[in-house]
Every structure is written in structure tokens, then in C-alpha cells.
Structure 1
Amino acid sequence: MTPLNILYQDEYLVAVHKPSGLLVHRSALARGETEFLLQRLRDQLGQRVYPVHRLDRPTSGVMVLALSSEVAARLSDSFGERQVDKRYLAVVRGVAPAEARLDYPLREEDGIRPKADMLAMPSMTDIRCVDSVELPVQVDRYPKARYSLVEAKPLTGRRHQIRRHLSRRGYPVIGDAKHGKSVHNRFFAEQLGAPRLLLAASYLAFDHPLDNKRLELSCALDDTMTALFHHLGWAGHLPLDSVRTPPIATPPALQAL
């Protein structure tokens, strides 16, 4: 089995590239599955790991896990209090706006309770159109097909938030079987070699739970999305695996001393 790509590791936490299609942990909604990120990473590192946030099964990208329950509690607090900067790259149908804030309440779906039993919760996602392309093919009812590369920054953490917000605004993520449009999903799968959800967690920044050092993690895309970006002329937007620890800014009053 191919080892998971480790982006960063110290004695307290580890950041990995979660592949698309891999479940993070066992779930009542995925009975019969035998492969999970937690087990693979545990076996690879030879020690137990603790999840502190989630990525949907079809979403790829950077994911942070703690190496102890104490660190997991601290990191979970940071994620829960929205002290983490998350950014995703998504390929969507249509020409997305240059910038927009998607502010649509969403039901906090858990996949178990009926939707009628769940209240709509405030939900916000900032989006930015990074690039767009027009293909000279008729995919739907128009003679040409337009698609955009969008950077999405969720400001809240609802289930499937980015996918649901973009779909509601009219720019569904390609490969999204539930919130997208099958004709475009099929075109990308059959003609462009991209049969997966085209959504990737490309950037994550947070304060280290022990020394408060800011960690900025960038995650490269997988082979499928990388090849697609080259095909669409978006290679210049491909992120690279990187780790940055920017210096803490010195207050002006201390700079003068």
C-alpha cells in the first residue's frame, strides 16, 4: 500500500495529504468499508493518531491530526472557535464572480436524523474566482461550456458547506453527485479523465497548540486534478507542498525600543 504523503510532523501533531475517496474513520454510514485514514496513518507512524477536524470522503487535501488526546483537545478548540484559516480549490460549472460572500443558512445535516428535525444554521463562505475557461464543446444546452477555478474559504463549518453553497449560487462543483449536475460530471469523467469530486483542501493555517507558532501548510493536488489543470491551462495555479512558520509580528511599541 502506498504510504500517505506526510506534509509536516513533530512530536505533537502530523499533517497529511488525504487522498480523495478515503474515509477518515469508521462510520455507521459506511458499513463494509475496510480502509480508513486513521488506521493507515497509525500503521505508517507506529503510533495512535487523533482527528481534530474532518474532510468529506471525496475531498482530498491537507488534514491535521494530533498525536495525543491532550493536543487533540487543544486543536479541536482552535478549529471549533474558527481560529483556523482553511482554503479550498474547486472546479465549478459556469463563470464564477470575481469575489463573493455566500451567506446562506444551512441545515446541520448529520446523515441520520430527518432534515425536518434540524434547524438551519448561519453559514458563510467567501469565494474568489482564480481563473476560468470556455471549451468549444456542447455539454448541456449551450454550444460552449464554461468552467471556473474557485478558491473557497469557509467561515463556518457546516456539513458539505462549500459544495452546498456553490451549488445554491449556481456554480456546482464538478463531480458532486448530490449537489451538482450529472451531464457535466459525466463529461469530466469520460472526456477529461477526472471522475472524482474536484474539491481539494489546498491550504491550512493555525497556531501550534504548544508554542503558538503559526503553521501554514500548503498541499499539492493529486495526479487527477494536476493533469486536469494542465489540460485547462491552469498549471500556473497549482499549489505545492510547503510548510511556513511566519515570524510573529512585533508590536510597534516594542519595535521602537
Structure 2
Amino acid sequence: MGPEILFEDAEALVIDKPGGLPIDRPRAGGPCLEDSMDDLKLGFQRAPVPAHRLDRDTSGCLLLARNPKALKRFAAAFEERQVEKRYLGVVAGELKEEEGTIALSLSKVSTAKDGWRMIPARKGKPAVTHWRKLETRGGLTLVEFRPETGRTHQIRVHAASGLGAPLLGDPVYGSGKGAPRTMLHAAGLTVPRGEKAPIVAASPLPADFLALGFSDA
């Protein structure tokens, strides 16, 4: 059984990527999304190709292009910030404010000891995330994130450094405690396609979010 399909037409698929499943084969081996690509041909000759990235731990909406022309168009839509993305995350802590916008530029750093990570840096690449508090339970908060830009680890760094409350379970920007994965879910995706109807997909809240007592917002 491959991942659930949330949207399908002749040029696109949106799948519900499970949390913890990497898109590409890890160096150490093990399962990855590539294993499902033949099953996702669904009668087409070509296997679909991811049009953007989701971290290994992030669950939810992942857009796949079914031909090279579509891939090029979708990549341009992401690059030009035309794609609407809605994420849900559980942060470790309670937030005083109800909503806001985080604008923290990000830069990549690397050390032999800790490997690479993203840090807020004045000379980094601009990164903007709008957020809204949805629900608080037992010292944890469910937050809606709508990133304007698509920087690597953007929401993870913005939660930790912008909100002062890292995503639950994040081993790099938080304590890594409280959950077996970084609690971030790609809940919705809208991709405009000119005169064609847009690609619209939504992924329900996963079981591990529901297990913390949060409801599907």
C-alpha cells in the first residue's frame, strides 16, 4: 500500500506523505518514498517526480509532477511564491500572542561536531512566515503556519527563534523530547495553473497530533 492520494489529474498528484518517511533513499539505506513511485504511475508510463521538498519527519501534502513540462511549471510556481502552503505544528510551550508574522533571514552553517543547520542571520536569505494560534493543551500549542518563502527548515527555525517555542520533538532546533518526530504537518496546498483550475489538496490531522488531544482544525 502506497501513500494516500489527495489529488489526481493528468499532470499532478498530491500524496499524503507519512511522517518519518524520507523522500530520497538515506545513506544508511532503509525505506523511502522512492519505493512507492512505480505504484504511483497509476497507468502512466513515467513515474511521478516530487515538485518540492518536505523534511523526513514532516507529514502531509506533497506535490508530484507526472511529466517534465508540469514539473518545470510547478517548480516555477514555488520559486515565484505563487503556491499557498498551510502547515500545522505542535510547539513546546504556550504562546501569549494570538497571531503574527516572523521575518527572520536564514543562513546555513556547518560544523564537524553537529553537522549542518539553519540559523537566523542578518545576511541570510529572507524568510517570512505568518502564524496563528489554534489550540493550547497541557503546555503545548497547535499553531497554523503559512510560509511566504520556502527556505530549508524555515518553519522549524522560525518556531524556535521567532516564537521562542520550538516544534515538539525537533532534535535540531528543540530538545527532541515529547514526540518521536518533529511535529510538523503540511495540511494544505493550493497551486495556481493559469487558466486551468488550481491544484487544491488538504491532508487531515495525523494520528500522532490527535493523540496529543488536538482536533482537526
**TM bracket, shorter-chain basis:** 0.7 to 0.9
Aligned pairs for 1:158-177 within 5 A: 158-169=151-162, 170-177=164-171
Is 1:153 matched up with 2:146?
A: yes
Task: Give the equivalent residue in structure 1 for 2:132.
Answer: 128
In 2, Cα distance between the equivalents of 1:110 and 1:13? 36
- After the TM superposition, which segments of 4 or more aligned residues of structure 1 sit over 3 Å from their partners? 108-116
Amino acid at match of 1:120: G
Amino acid at match of 1:215: I
Task: Give the equivalent residue in structure 2 for 1:143.
Answer: none
Alignment partner of 1:197 out of 182, 186, 197: 182
Alignment partner of 1:36 out of 32, 35, 41: 32
Contact kept in structure 1, 2:84 and 2:189, CA below 8 Å: yes
Q: Percent identity?
A: 32
Q: Number of residues paired by the alignment?
A: 207
Structure 1 residue 32: Cα displacement: 2.2
In 1, Cα distance between the equivalents of 2:14 and 2:131? 25
Contact kept in structure 1, 2:14 and 2:63, CA below 8 Å: yes
SS in structure 2 at match of 1:200: strand
In 2, Cα distance between the equivalents of 1:172 and 1:34? 28
Change (3 A) 1:21 1:212: same
SS in structure 2 at match of 1:76: helix
More strand by share: 2
Change (3 A) 1:109 1:125: farther
Change (3 A) 1:224 1:114: closer
Change (3 A) 1:65 1:114: closer
Structure 1 residue 203: Cα displacement: 0.6
Q: Which has the larger radius of gyration?
A: 1
SS in structure 1 at match of 2:38: helix
In structure 1, runs of 5+ residues without a counterpart are: 136-145, 190-194, 240-257
Structure 1 residue 215: Cα displacement: 2.7
Structure 1 residue 45: Cα displacement: 2.7
In structure 2, runs of 5+ residues without a counterpart are: none
More helix by share: 1
SS in structure 1 at match of 2:55: coil
Which digits, 9 at most, give the CA deviation of each residue in 1:35-60, with x for residues without a partner?
22133132343541111111000000
If asked which structure has higher relative contact order (CA below 8 Å, sep 6+), I would say 2
Is 1:82 matched up with 2:66?
A: no
Contact kept in structure 2, 1:62 and 1:202, CA below 8 Å: yes
| Higher mean C-alpha displacement, 52-61 vs 103-112 | 103-112
